[in-house]
Amino acid sequence: MSHLITQMWFKQKVFLALKLAVMNSQAEGEIVKFKAWKSWCEKSRNDKYFAKKELMVEKIEGTRTEMLLKRVFDAVRYSNINDKFEATRQELEDKIPVRQELERQKDELLKMSAQKDKAQLFRNCIKRHQDVMYRALMVWRDRCKYHSHNMERVKLRLINLHK
């Protein structure tokens, strides 16, 4: 019986060893499959990550190009506006003295015109006054007896008055 137990024991040992080897082989296969799946997942994650990064870089490049173009066109527009401003400012600087001179001449003409108007008004007043005086003198002469003697005196007074 011991022989039978030894044989059975030996068979069990062999069977268990084979079973252990098969299980180890299956476990190693599962481990290899798991590692392959894990590496595939990591590779897939990395591919998605880098694809997103490439897309982002392409978008950034497009945005940078758009921004650069916008800045260039803004700079060109600003330069044109600045050139127009400088030209206008230079033209104003050239024309301001001319305008001031014209305004000064206009003011002088207005003053001279006002003076001429005053002088004309004064002459008209004198003419009216002289007409009234002449009429008064004529009336006085017609009514006065010694008009020739008095007339000489009035004439001398008028000459002295108007000197």
- Condensed to tens digits (0 to 9), the pLDDT of residues 130-150 reads 777 777 777 777 777 666 666
Say which residues have a Cβ less than 8 Å from residue 137's Cβ, sequence separation at least 6: 151, 154
The secondary element (H helix, E strand) that includes residue 42 is: helix 2-143
Taking the C-alpha atoms of residue 67 and residue 77, their distance in angstroms, rounded to an integer, is 15
Please measure the distance between the N-terminal and C-terminal CA atoms of the chain and give it in whole angstroms. 181
What local confidence, expressed as pLDDT, does residue 145 receive? 67
Residues of the chain scoring pLDDT < 50: none
What local confidence, expressed as pLDDT, does residue 63 receive? 79
Taking the C-alpha atoms of residue 113 and residue 148, their distance in angstroms, rounded to an integer, is 43
- Assigned token pair, 14: 């062999």
What local confidence, expressed as pLDDT, does residue 162 receive? 75
Residue type, 54: E
Taking the C-alpha atoms of residue 68 and residue 29, their distance in angstroms, rounded to an integer, is 56
Is this model's pTM higher than 0.85 or not? no
What local confidence, expressed as pLDDT, does residue 153 receive? 77
